[in-house]
Structure 1
Amino acid sequence: MQRSNRNSHASRCCASRAVVLSATLCILAASLMPCIATADGVSGYVDVLYNSFDSETTDALGNVSRLESTGIGQRYSLTFTSHLAPYVRIYATGFFDKVDSTSVSNGTRSESTTTSLVPTVDLTLRSPIYTAGIKYSRRTDSFTTNGSPTATDIQENYQGLLGWKPPEVDLPSFQLRVVRTHVFDQERVRQNTIVDTAALTVNYAPTNTVSLNYRPTYTDAINKLNGLETETTTHAGFVRYADRFLRDRVTISTGYNVSYSELKVSVSGTGSVDTELVPFSGLSSIDDSPANDALNPNPALIDGNLSASAGINIGLPPPGGDLRERNIGLDFSVRKEVNRLLLWVDRPLPAAIAGSFSWSIYTSTDNQNWSFLTTVFPAPFGTFENNFEITFSPVTTRYLKVAVKPLSATVIGASGFPDIFVTELQAFSRQSADQVRGTTSSSSRIFDFDGRALLLASGPTLYYHVSYFLQKTGPPDAQRWTLANGLQATHRFNRVFSGSAGVGRDDYFDAVTGGMAYWATASLDAVPLRALRHTFLYSGRIDKSDTGGYKTNTYYLNNDLQVYSGVQMTLSGGLSDRVEDTGKSSESTDLKASATIQPHRTLGLNYFVSSISTESSGGGGPDSFSRRTDSSASVSYFPVATLYLTAGRTVVSDPERTLRTQNYGLNWSPSLGSTLQFSFSYTESVSNEDNAKNKTMGPTVQWRFARNAYLNASYVLFRTTSDISSADSTALTANVRATF
């Protein structure tokens, strides 16, 4: 039996070598082909990938677990483009990906094969007036493990496009897009869903100051396995007006947005329906204290663009990079019930990468104090769509967020994913079909106005600013509005001093509370020398609402000094206080200092230190005090054009832990413009939390052996020790690519 296993393993190794050899020959042949420089023609690439990972982990009881894994991948892409006539283009592409993986976990062997085949054909007419096109694509994903029957999932996509844009004529333009998506498994027993969508967009700008938009959409989704059908009809549009008066002394902008959506559910079996919740704003931050972290607005998280980055990277941080949690959230404006999130990223992820993330769910009433709800691990990642599905028990809240650590270097294949950008966060309320059977509707109306008037133009400048925002949604009926009035003045006193000041009042109302606030701001700039600048800032606010009030004041001083060319220093500090009607008071200080020194063009030195402390008392609660300090120092040395050296050290300390990190790096090439590049990095971090110590080191090589072909290879060693466990791991990755 053992001989049979050895023979089987040997045959698999021979087969793998044959795959690598044949693919490598294809790459060598492709690298010798001439590059095609014309817009029409054939292009493509061939990839061969190899990775191996070995790990040994020992827990606190001395139990040892071992994992060995190997993966061999091959990718082929071929693209044909041709202009059949003026404005008419045909685009055809084919993509094939195959990965053979083998892993041995504590003596248990597992083998799997994953393949993807994606042909696409796109015929488009695009003239200055007309746009028309048809597109077809089919993606087939197959997976088999340990000789089990192959599981095959298929997605077929049909698209049609028709558009008209009149040139230099005051007539509306329109674009109609129809899409059919059919997702099913080969046997049609696990999934079989057809989604038909028709979307029309009409834009009209009768004048330079007026614009109108109308967007009706119809979607029909049928689940053939349980007989569930949902029909969604949406009408959305806006009208906008913006203009300037009195020689641009007065500017106004106003708009009205309206949307109406109708959902019809019919079902002959069982199933569930997801109702998407429209958030008021997207939120995000990077912070290791998710329980008391105020998130900042991030409109890109809810703009409907599923491919453009929202500025949040959960990929593998570089040595010495930011390892803090990424907080990604939503503000619904009013309390809503939610139990499902879709978090979209900008690329497909293999199972090992997607399954390594742990998602912590938090809720809040004020975007300041957060309550932990649950942890989801792992979250399923879409087969055909680049999103994580995060489901949890229903919760009713205004603010909701997920907190996630960036990709860990100990995950198999992590080095190939330095960038995984979050693009969108969607929230849903999933209910059984019986609960929502029939027809339901919802609507939203938003009115906004923004006006600005220049009252004084000579000497001090004085502006008056007014803005109004009104949102009505239903059912259930909810209303939210804000009215802001303010005066803003700026003035240059002399060559050295300049400043600005503002005062205003905000009135607001939403489903939870209503109130008003007075605010004031001031700034003073002093530039006595070209190389020296002082800036003082103040802001204060008195807020009174139905649920309570508070007063805040913030003072901040910043000093910039350029001692001489190549030496820059900054020293800043701030103080803020907050007093609530409940008697609770808090005070925080923020001190920062930094220096950048370049004594020679080949040498750079950087130093940074900061301290943030917060103290609170009163209000019937316990007194508290916390302080976080950060310090970092780095040096970079460029002795010759082909050698670059870096070193750095960072210390982060807060009430929960102290983390010390040091990193070193080297980049070298034999000569300028060399086709060979070599780099080496070493990172070590030590934390007093469980006495954890992590070391990561390894080289990376890139060799461009032909004009259109290159080799990337890296070898990384990991060592982790703590009071809980210890682990030693090695990872080898290599990738050869040729384009033509």
Structure 2
Amino acid sequence: MRFPRWKSICVHLFLSLIFLMMGLRAGLAQDLFQGLSGLVEFNYVYSESRMKDGMGKTTKTNTSTYNPRLTLNIDTKIFPNLRLHAGGIGELIRADFETGGMDTRGTITRVRPYIDLTLETPLYTMGLGYVMREERSKTGSSPSLTLVNEEYSALLGWRADGLPSLEARWKRQTLYDSQRTSRDVGEDTLNLVSKYRHNGLEFYYNGLYSRTLDDLNDLEQKQLYHSARGVYGGSFWDDRIAVNTTYDLTHQEIKTLSEGKGFVTIPVSAFAGLSRTDDALPPTPILLDQNPALVDGNLIGSAGIDLLSDLPLIKRQMGLDLLNPVEVNQLRVWVDREISAETTRLFLWDVLVSEDNLNWTHWAGPVTASFVPFENRFEIDFPAITPPKRYVKVVTNPLLRSPILPQNLFVTEIQAFRRQSAADTEERTVRTSHLYNFDLKARILKDPMLSYDLSYFFNKVLPDGQRRYNLSNGFSASHRFSPSLSGTARIAREDGEEKEEKRTAYVYHLAMMADPLRTLRHSLVLSGREEEIGKKPNNLRSLFLYNTAQLYEGIDLNLNGGFNFSEKEKGENVKNRVINFGAQIVPHRSLILGLYFSDTESKQKRNEISTALGSNRRVDLSVNYNPLRTVTFFALLQIVTEQGKERQLLQNYSFNWSPFPDGALQFNLLYNETLRSEDRSKERNLTPSMRWKITKRSYLDLAYQTVRSENKTTRTHSRIFSSNLKIFF
């Protein structure tokens, strides 16, 4: 993918056009300075560690890293409707690594200039842009490696009142090394989006054409993607009847031309994104919540999942509802910033699959992921899921926050892919999906509230012929019997087809809520699904009681518990028992006491023989004491008992002192100690730090961290000094 002459001509013409327009307007230099902002950073980290293994061998390691960084940004209007957004980021990372008497030096140089010119009026929008990311790395006496990612873009948009809006985007992206010996990939994409709304009607179209060339592997891939959506919603007869209907049509066509070298990555469309912060693992059932931000195509905005955390460290679970299962063997998880290779290796990922987003099975892991330069994403590879499952998720433990890590690391997107050898890829693959939804709600009575609902769902995928539909008829009711007692109920019949098998289900939900006092609330919930798929039972039933109470001001309790019952085959039943108790006691405004208890147990019964599938019991005790505004004490004791494993004990103690929090010179002293029985580890961390607010636009951070850790095989003593100077202008 070589376009040196074309690239040079485009860049020179683009920059010449900008400078010509700048020269045509008097006083532009002043406007540019007014729109100029930036940041100068100087970062330095020195660390030394001494590790002693079980054989008595001691290994010493010293590392020093120097990282200056400059950020410039210009955001100004050249003309009333013409905006210039340009700038660049440049940084140098120089690291010296010494261990075992061997000294290794490495440097990384990163440059990222960008320019974006946008002409915007009420009727139309036009834009041109260019971004270049270059990273040059060299380690020791090895040859240097330079990776370059260039991106040219153009935008044309048109919007008129009462007519469909149009937006066309063109982008050319190339990724190569300076010698074009290890990477030489280019991609052209053309994207067309149109939207139209009128009196409850909404139409949406998204068309995408992309062409990818891998010159080193003689591989060419063309993709044509069409997505159309129609929506109607309205209410009638004084809002007694509400109707909503949607129809989605997607068509994807991929052509691959290759000489049999390299690999092809085929994207797999997801129906919904799922996530939850929870430690539950199989056999404990867990239902992930829908998270639309995980599949909205926005690779920058946070989806609300932070991979960094304070104690306790609760697992991050995120996944996809594929609706029409196909084989996948790679998941990509985007985050909002770049991280180092050392940080990447600290994350371990487990892959789990499910047919119902409730009962999960471990598929692969724990595995490490690779982190792709310029893209800010993890790539998690695993064996292909066969037979395909509708739901797939990854589970990882967050990292504990520390001075050498960023403040947050938010997940922005997750996507599934099928990666395979080019030699095994069909020359042409086509996939078309039809998805139709219809919902009708009619109010029969207002008090007590009684309503009827009708919904229909249809999905068909070609050419493999996957087909499913669901027709639901139901009645819902709610009523407040007294000021302190109310209830809701719903019953419905569902008829459908899934995996070429007929499905019939009766669904019910009954809830009673009691509020005898303002500080006391009870809820009893009975729900279930009596279902047959292909004349085989697939029944789910649950009964749960939820209680919350404020005994006194500063004493809050909650107690929840219940049972889940499932029946998959005749004579095969699974019962899950769940109990959760929590308490927060605030005897004084400076003291918070916390208690959390959970107990889960799963049993399977087949042919009158009962088998324990697993049990998990967890207790958390915490104390948070703030005798002064500047002083904090925290203690956590966690006990986990799991069937078939030794009891796990976690103890954490921390102390934080921040005198003079409002002054120009701020000090902080942090002590943290953690003990884990799982690997018989102990870690002590003492970190004094200082921030000097030099001016309103500059400050200096200094920190010295001492870490002593030991487990049953090694002992480590580390000392880390870090400094960070930031100057804004």
TM-score, structure 1 length as denominator?
0.87
How many angstroms apart in 2 are the aligned matches of 1:136 and 1:186? 19
Alignment equivalent of 2:375, drawn from 385, 398, 402? 385
SS in 2 for 1:333: coil
Q: Deviations over 1:95-115 (max 9, x none)?
A: 111111111232222110001
Residue 63 of structure 2 corresponds to residue 69 of structure 1: yes
Alpha-carbon distance change, 690 to 95 in structure 1, aligned in 2, over 3 angstroms: closer
The one-letter code sitting in structure 1 at the alignment partner of 2:123 is I
Q: Is the 8 A contact 2:280 2:286 kept in 1?
A: no
Q: Deviations over 1:165-219 (max 9, x none)?
A: 11xx3111111111111211111111112211111111112x2210111222111
Q: Please name the residue that 1:146 is paired with.
A: 140
Residue 286 of structure 2 corresponds to residue 298 of structure 1: no
Residue 240 of structure 2 corresponds to residue 249 of structure 1: yes
Alpha-carbon distance change, 517 to 685 in structure 1, aligned in 2, over 3 angstroms: farther
How big is the shift at 1:158? 0.7
What does 1:142-291 align with in structure 2 at a 5 Å threshold? 142-166=136-160, 169-205=161-197, 207-267=198-258, 270-288=261-279, 290-291=281-282
Q: Deviations over 1:560-605 (max 9, x none)?
A: 3323333323333323333443323333333333333334433333
Q: Please name the residue that 2:718 is paired with.
A: 729
The one-letter code sitting in structure 2 at the alignment partner of 1:57 is M
Residue 39 of structure 2 corresponds to residue 45 of structure 1: yes
SS in 2 for 1:389: strand
The one-letter code sitting in structure 1 at the alignment partner of 2:229 is F
Q: Please name the residue that 1:312 is paired with.
A: 305
Residue 85 of structure 2 corresponds to residue 91 of structure 1: yes
Q: Is the 8 A contact 1:39 1:81 kept in 2?
A: no
Q: Is the 8 A contact 1:690 1:724 kept in 2?
A: no
User: What is the Cα-based RMSD across aligned positions, in Å?
Assistant: 2.7
Q: Please name the residue that 2:25 is paired with.
A: none
SS in 2 for 1:355: helix
How many angstroms apart in 2 are the aligned matches of 1:348 and 1:516? 49
Alpha-carbon distance change, 495 to 372 in structure 1, aligned in 2, over 3 angstroms: closer
Alignment equivalent of 1:136, drawn from 126, 130, 138? 130
Alignment equivalent of 1:705, drawn from 671, 694, 702? 694
The one-letter code sitting in structure 2 at the alignment partner of 1:485 is N
How many angstroms apart in 2 are the aligned matches of 1:433 and 1:455? 60
SS in 2 for 1:115: strand
How many angstroms apart in 2 are the aligned matches of 1:556 and 1:517? 21
Q: Please name the residue that 2:349 is paired with.
A: 359
The one-letter code sitting in structure 2 at the alignment partner of 1:406 is P
Alignment equivalent of 1:523, drawn from 496, 511, 530? 511
Q: Is the 8 A contact 2:637 2:649 kept in 1?
A: no
Consecutive aligned runs of 4 or more in structure 1 exceeding 6 Å deviation: 36-39
SS in 2 for 1:354: helix
How many angstroms apart in 2 are the aligned matches of 1:105 and 1:476? 57
Q: Deviations over 1:503-533 (max 9, x none)?
A: 1122332227542221221122222222222
Q: Is the 8 A contact 1:267 1:437 kept in 2?
A: no
Q: Please name the residue that 2:18 is paired with.
A: none
How many angstroms apart in 2 are the aligned matches of 1:621 and 1:57? 52
How big is the shift at 1:470? 1.2
The range that moved more, 248-257 or 548-557, is 548-557
Q: Please name the residue that 1:403 is paired with.
A: 395
Give the % identical residues: 31
The one-letter code sitting in structure 1 at the alignment partner of 2:187 is V
Residue 708 of structure 2 corresponds to residue 719 of structure 1: yes
The one-letter code sitting in structure 2 at the alignment partner of 1:601 is R
Q: Is the 8 A contact 1:408 1:414 kept in 2?
A: no
Q: Please name the residue that 1:465 is paired with.
A: 453
SS in 1 for 2:399: coil
Q: Please name the residue that 1:321 is paired with.
A: 312
How many angstroms apart in 2 are the aligned matches of 1:196 and 1:682? 51
Q: Please name the residue that 2:411 is paired with.
A: 422
Alpha-carbon distance change, 448 to 677 in structure 1, aligned in 2, over 3 angstroms: farther
Q: Is the 8 A contact 1:585 1:619 kept in 2?
A: no
How big is the shift at 1:130? 1.6
Q: Please name the residue that 1:340 is paired with.
A: 330
Q: Is the 8 A contact 1:334 1:512 kept in 2?
A: no
Residue 621 of structure 2 corresponds to residue 629 of structure 1: no
Residue 99 of structure 2 corresponds to residue 111 of structure 1: no
Q: Please name the residue that 1:683 is paired with.
A: 673
Alignment equivalent of 2:653, drawn from 652, 655, 663? 663
Q: Please name the residue that 2:26 is paired with.
A: none
Alpha-carbon distance change, 217 to 416 in structure 1, aligned in 2, over 3 angstroms: same
The range that moved more, 356-365 or 223-232, is 356-365
Q: Is the 8 A contact 2:623 2:634 kept in 1?
A: yes
How many angstroms apart in 1 are the aligned matches of 2:62 and 2:679? 27
Residue 580 of structure 2 corresponds to residue 587 of structure 1: no
Alpha-carbon distance change, 570 to 275 in structure 1, aligned in 2, over 3 angstroms: closer
How many angstroms apart in 2 are the aligned matches of 1:84 and 1:737? 30
The range that moved more, 338-347 or 375-384, is 375-384
Alpha-carbon distance change, 586 to 435 in structure 1, aligned in 2, over 3 angstroms: closer
How big is the shift at 1:127? 2.2
How many angstroms apart in 2 are the aligned matches of 1:548 and 1:728? 60
The one-letter code sitting in structure 2 at the alignment partner of 1:118 is R
The one-letter code sitting in structure 1 at the alignment partner of 2:727 is A
Alpha-carbon distance change, 607 to 538 in structure 1, aligned in 2, over 3 angstroms: same
The one-letter code sitting in structure 2 at the alignment partner of 1:179 is K
Q: Is the 8 A contact 1:448 1:467 kept in 2?
A: yes
Q: Is the 8 A contact 2:313 2:400 kept in 1?
A: no
How many angstroms apart in 1 are the aligned matches of 2:615 and 2:104? 49
Alpha-carbon distance change, 708 to 323 in structure 1, aligned in 2, over 3 angstroms: same
Q: Deviations over 1:436-489 (max 9, x none)?
A: 45433221111111111111112x101112222111112222112222222111
The one-letter code sitting in structure 2 at the alignment partner of 1:251 is A
Residue 605 of structure 2 corresponds to residue 611 of structure 1: no
The one-letter code sitting in structure 2 at the alignment partner of 1:489 is A
Alpha-carbon distance change, 301 to 492 in structure 1, aligned in 2, over 3 angstroms: same
Q: Please name the residue that 1:29 is paired with.
A: none
SS in 2 for 1:394: coil
The one-letter code sitting in structure 1 at the alignment partner of 2:299 is L
How many angstroms apart in 1 are the aligned matches of 2:480 and 2:368? 58
How many angstroms apart in 2 are the aligned matches of 1:77 and 1:88? 23
Q: Is the 8 A contact 2:271 2:322 kept in 1?
A: yes
How many angstroms apart in 1 are the aligned matches of 2:589 and 2:196? 56
Alpha-carbon distance change, 339 to 559 in structure 1, aligned in 2, over 3 angstroms: closer
Alpha-carbon distance change, 712 to 182 in structure 1, aligned in 2, over 3 angstroms: same
Q: Please name the residue that 1:12 is paired with.
A: none
How big is the shift at 1:40? 4.1
How many angstroms apart in 2 are the aligned matches of 1:263 and 1:388? 24
SS in 2 for 1:174: strand
Q: Is there any run of 5+ residues in structure 2 with no aligned partner, and where?
A: 1-29
How many angstroms apart in 1 are the aligned matches of 2:103 and 2:117? 47
SS in 1 for 2:162: coil
Q: Deviations over 1:9-30 (max 9, x none)?
A: xxxxxxxxxxxxxxxxxxxxxx
Q: Is the 8 A contact 2:444 2:451 kept in 1?
A: yes
